[in-house]
A and B are shown apart, each in its own frame.
Chain A
Amino acid sequence: MAKTWDEINARIAAGEAVVVTAEEFAEIAAAEGIPAAAKRVDVVTTGTFGPMCSSGAVLNFGHSDPPIRMGEITLNDVEAYGGMAAVDTYIGVTQPSRFKGIEYGGAHVIEDLLSGKSVRLRATSTGTDCYPRTDIDTWVTLADLNQAYFFNPRNAYQNYAVAVNSGDRSLNTYLGTILPRLGNATYCSAGALSPLLNDPTYRTIGVGSRIFVAGAAGYIAWEGTQHNPNQKRDEHGVPVGPAGTLAVIADLKHASTEFFSAATFTGYGTSAFVGIGVPIPVLDEQIAATLALTDADLTATIYDYGVQRRSRPSLGQVTYAQLRSGQIEIDGKKIPTGPISSLPKARRIAQELKRWIAEERMELTRPLQPLPQPGSQGVKPLEVRTEEAI
């Protein structure tokens, strides 16, 4: 039996909607069957909390007297982009500090702003007739800023790689320390709770969807960078490697350090754990079938990061249930596994989003425009060309 967006929103508005997390939905579906679960449940919430390097914030400082057109900008000695209007900037989470390197980066600046700390703003300029000041050195807090919002060009990757290393030295990567001679395997996905694994063909998730971003109610702004709906898919239509991504936007002033945490990966760089949660309406049995998938049904592909090329060799596939057991097997060798995406935080996000909808009656927004669908586009590589070859 199908439901419409409007029917579901009417039930949310009346405080009657049945809202459960993706894990809870899988249990209901296992006990009562998919048709009954699809009928009874209105909304399923998802959540993920992992490092998302393509994140950052747009800030507006307001004008000083006399005013300055900020050129070179630093926040706590971390460079922010100065190529926009006079007192607008973008600070990216991976930007390292000029003095502390990757131990303190753009992500740490944003975390400090979120926790209410004063951040040192310094900027220089050539000076113009309308903006005579040539330098400024001051302190700002999040409350002082006119606008402060996340604009994260790539969050919530739909599935990801499992990293192993067949080489003979440890590798420091964005997937953590990968030990030599297949000494461990790291992986990064919320599995059955992951937003885009629950709606694998982006039927209900699209531009304009209201979502949870780092504790604030935000929106999907666009397809994320490297959005690749053409990734290989399994029999459920779920990608078996990195596929869809989301560009998201949300107000920093409503976000929380509980759901945004700066990170430093030794030998790699700074990044940030970002909490993302997406609500999915249970429109029909078809979407209910993918919402009911568990970690035992979802697979990821193992890649050998010991081969330092764009195309790393694949060493087969494993399920998230196997990965979560703490050990996988490759060619008969038992390999300990470690996650990077936090399961307790993912659960917390899905629960919080559930509360927003069930108790605070946050209605779902129907996408204004769908994300690029499977078959429409892949990802292109970057070729290294010389001027003569153009």
Chain B
Amino acid sequence: MPRKRFDLRFPPQQATKPVVYNLVKDFNLVPNILRALIQPGQEGRMLLELTGRKEDFEAGVAFLEKEGILVHPAATDIRLDEDACVLCGLCTAVCRPGALTLDADGALLFDKDKCVYCEACVVACPRRAVTLSF
């Protein structure tokens, strides 16, 4: 079954609604929350992976948008510009899933399968060597 990643932004007043529950119950979508930052009274953000049928995606996304949530397809590719990279290793300090690591010689290892597209490295890299594409 197809699987897609979505970048959800919740306006402050919407942040505590249990929309994920509706996606399962009403739209037969299987959610996998990759990352979420949701606090009452503040804009929330969730990186959500959904598995389901095509028509269920469309209905599910329409439901989220009706609830006032901004839905964008999440980044699907991440690129490292090796010419710009100086191998400082700073990105490895913020990559919680361990997609970016250093080997014993200080070479940068990048395991794309572990990446959750959280953008932490994009913001942290002093050389702006990492970019996400959608």
Contacts and interface: CB of A to CB of B under 8 A. Distances in A.
B89 A339 contact: yes
A343 interface: yes
Interface in B61-97: 86-94, 96
A266 B122 CA distance: 10
Given A264-B128, A326-B101, A344-B105, A339 B123 contact: no
B102 interface: yes
Contact of B93 (A176, A261, A264, A347): A176
A34 B92 CA distance: 36
Nearest to A325: B104
A186 B93 contact: yes
Contacts of A50: 88
A301 interface: no
A176 B89 CA distance: 10
Contacts of A19: none
A153 interface: no
B19 interface: no
B124 A266 contact: yes
Contacts of A263: 126-127
Interface string A166-185: 00000000001101000111
A177 B123 contact: yes
A209 to B, nearest CB: 25
B90 A343 contact: no
B124 A176 contact: yes
Given A177-B123, A177-B124, A261-B127, A344 B94 contact: no
B2 interface: no
Contacts of A367: none
Contact of B86 (A176, A266, A273, A347): A273
A338 B86 contact: no
A76 interface: no
- Which of B93, B105, B128 has the most chain A CB atoms closer than 10 A to its own CB? B93
The dominant DSSP class at the B interface is: loop
A51 B128 CA distance: 15
Contact of A177 (B94, B101, B127): B94
A355 interface: no
A67 interface: no
A342 B93 contact: no
A49 interface: yes
B107 interface: yes
Interface string A314-353: 0000000000101000000000111111111101000000
A344 B106 contact: yes
A202 interface: no
B94 A338 contact: yes
A191 to B, nearest CB: 11
Given A344-B105, A344-B106, A264 B126 contact: yes
A273 B94 CA distance: 20
Contacts of B88: 49-50, 273, 339-342
Interface in B91-120: 91-94, 96, 101-102, 104-107, 120
Contact of B92 (A183, A266, A338): A338
Contact of A176 (B90, B102, B104): B90
A271 interface: yes
B99 to A, nearest CB: 13
A60 B123 CA distance: 36
Interface string A243-268: 00000000000000000011111100
A176 B105 contact: no
A186 B41 CA distance: 32
A343 B93 contact: no
Interface in A211-268: 261-266
B93 A336 contact: yes
B86 A261 contact: yes
Contacts of A261: 86, 127
Interface pairs A-B: 3 shortest CB-CB = A338-B93, A343-B106, A263-B126
19 contacts: A177-B93, A177-B123, A185-B93, A186-B90, A264-B126, A264-B128, A324-B104, A336-B93, A337-B93, A338-B91, A338-B93, A339-B90, A340-B88, A342-B88, A343-B89, A343-B106, A344-B105, A344-B106, A347-B106
